[in-house]
Amino acid sequence: MASIVEEFNVYRSKMNEKMLVDNNKIVKRIFNLDTNAFTAGTLPKKTKELLGLGNSMVLRCDDCVRYHLEECHKLGLSKEEVVEAMSISLLIGGTIVIPHLRRAYEYWEALEAQV
């Protein structure tokens, strides 16, 4: 069951590497900013990851949702907290968000199934 997590991460790492090797300045800096943006600032890291998750959900980006679900899981956020954040995105983004919510539930389950 945990294999969708592994599969996603293997593909993600492999392709990110190819993109960074290319040395395009904009791509490199955006990647860099992406790492910086989710470190603790005035807002705690947990809030920032929930923001990343919520934003990704209304924009309906499955891979972005997966990435932030994984970070939320690592930080020890509970399923209830994560679902509450996503339910706000469902209300704001409408029922077209539902298919992405289904896939998010599946991914969260896979994260929990990992040892």
Applying CB under 8 A, the residues found at the interface with its own copies are 11-12, 15-16, 18-19, 22, 24-27, 29-30, 33-34, 36-38, 41-43, 47-48, 50-52, 54-64, 78-81, 83-85, 87-99, 101-103, 105-106, 109
In angstroms, give the least distance from the CB of 80 to its own copies: 5
Give the alpha-carbon dihedral of 80, 102, 53, 6, to 10 degrees: 100
Q: With contact defined as beta carbons under 8 Å apart, do 82 and 72 qualify?
A: yes
Give the integer Cα–Cα distance in Å for 104 and 66. Answer: 7
In angstroms, give the least distance from the CB of 115 to its own copies: 22
In angstroms, give the least distance from the CB of 69 to its own copies: 14
Q: Which residues contact 68 (CB under 8 A, 6 or more apart)?
A: 49, 52, 53, 56
